[in-house]
Structure 1
Amino acid sequence: MRSNRIRTTVLAATALLAALSLTACGGDDGTDAKKPAAAGSAADQGTATSPSPQTSATPKKDTTAPTDTDPAADAEPKTPAAAKPATKPAEKPAPEPKAPATCTGSNTKVTVTKVSRPINHLLLTMTNTGDRPCYAYHAPMLRFDGAQAVFQVLQDSKPQAVVTLAPGRSAYAAIGLTGEPNGRKPYKSTRLGVFFADRDNASTNTPPAELTLPGETYWDDNGFVTYWQSEMDDALTY
């Protein structure tokens, strides 16, 4: 653009010098010096009609900065399919509680131990080994070494309600081996048969629990056995 302007200026200056020369010559041969020379008009026209710089035909470069945006990223994100909740298995109805049975040798385990207090006492423990509760009715029926008479029961030890044993639970009965001296020599025994009573306080006609007594066990006719108790301490208070 700058070279075109310089060229136009040079041409205009040249034309002006030519016009001045013609004017000077015209003055000598009598022509009107004031009449503008044709060359001067041409120079003026050339100055007035000088072409404007041409716009480059080269296409403009796109100056827009490319973006790194991934077209796929502009797409609306797909919502993951909601996971179906796991089907909850139908709950089985709770089994109905089984009706209590009578505690006998078939659904219990009976043990006998010697205690230090009170003196001359043994402790019977009956544990429910069945799958349903059982009633420990009345008091255990005891026979030492197959004696004909059943050991007497201490009536003062009767609880307010029948002891009910849930599976795994225990009931207790104390055995007082001797009572007031009666002049008779105590009996020594090594075996003890424990029979079970029903609601009517009669034998259940089931096999007894056959136990081995602690060594040096002596008893007399004034001894006693308590009713079944739900707590060991209650049984040993007599």
Structure 2
Amino acid sequence: MSGIRPSGTRLAVAAATAALAALSLTACGNDATGARAEPTGTNSAASTATAAPDPSATSPATSPAANPASSKALASSGQSGSGGPKPTTRHTTAKPPASSGKPVTCQASDTKTVAAPLNRPVNHMLLTVTNTGSRTCYLYAYPALQFTGAQAVPPVIADSHPQAVVTLAPGESGYASVTLAAADGTGTNGYTAKTLAVYFYGRSGNESVGAAAHPPLPAKGLYIDSTLKTTYWQQSMDDALNW
């Protein structure tokens, strides 16, 4: 009969259909460029497990919280990692000794006196008294000078009177200028003195207080004559040298 296909023909058609299905499945496993798609499942999980660690993450073994010794070292250095605050050094300035107690009258026991001849003005000497005590002291009036062989204390230059009593805090100095001899040679009874005693007046200006200071003079001595005189004590060297 012509309407019935032989069984051999049906088997051939079935085989062709199976082949086409296999080709279709293979095409679905490739992308448009022909590259094979990455597999999923077990292989993908293995790839994730072997990825490199994040360098910004802190390992528990190196964390300061997990390592007390490391944390203590950072704290003692003043740092908390490379970006922490740096330790600072404070500089202090030495201060002069502060005055303690009630002010006193300056005298030889708590001062140092220096006598220095001057080139200008000629035939002059500068007296410098420095407070070496722990209390503020007052330099009253003017220095009472006694050179070798002198019979009286030299007079004071009245116009050199300061506006206020010279006050010396510990470490500070006061000054007086002494005219030794006339620059033009008009002085009389001149001689060379080898020693000097400096007495300090009290508040009244009529009596000396304490023992005298004995500042050394040049080995050759100082020439003095009848014009010998001194200024009042001055707060600054410039004021003393004006006379």
Q: Which runs of 5+ in 1 are unaligned?
A: 1-32, 89-93
Deviation at 1:191, TM superposition (A): 1.0
Q: Which runs of 5+ in 2 are unaligned?
A: 27-37, 66-70, 79-87, 89-94
1:226 and 2:231 equivalent?
yes
Q: TM-score, normalised by structure 2?
A: 0.60
Pairing of 1:61-76 with structure 2 (within 5 A): 66=47, 69-70=51-52, 73=54
Q: 1:69 to 1:163 in 2, by over 3 A?
A: farther
Pairing of 1:1-238 with structure 2 (within 5 A): 34=2, 36=4, 40-50=5-15, 52=18, 66=47, 69-70=51-52, 73=54, 77=58, 98-99=100-101, 100-145=103-148, 147=150, 149-178=152-181, 185-203=189-207, 205-214=209-218, 215-238=220-243
Q: 1:34 to 1:153 in 2, by over 3 A?
A: closer
Tell me the secondary structure at the aligned position of residue 44 of structure 1. helix
Q: Deviations over 1:47-81 (max 9, x none)?
A: 3433725799xxx96675935523x5399657866
Contact 1:135–1:163 under 8 Å retained in 2 = yes
Q: Distance in 1 between matches of 2:172 and 2:55?
A: 72
For 2:211, give the aligned amino acid: P
Contact 1:110–1:126 under 8 Å retained in 2 = yes
Report sequence identity in percent. Answer: 37
Q: 1:210 to 1:146 in 2, by over 3 A?
A: farther
Contact 2:116–2:126 under 8 Å retained in 1 = yes
Q: TM-score, normalised by structure 1?
A: 0.61
Q: 1:146 to 1:103 in 2, by over 3 A?
A: farther
Q: Distance in 1 between matches of 2:56 and 2:185?
A: 106
Q: Distance in 1 between matches of 2:125 and 2:239?
A: 14
Contact 1:195–1:203 under 8 Å retained in 2 = no
Alpha-carbon RMSD: 4.2
Further displaced range: 45-54 or 120-129:
45-54
**When the two structures are aligned, how many residues end up with a matched partner?**
193
For 1:69, give the aligned amino acid: A
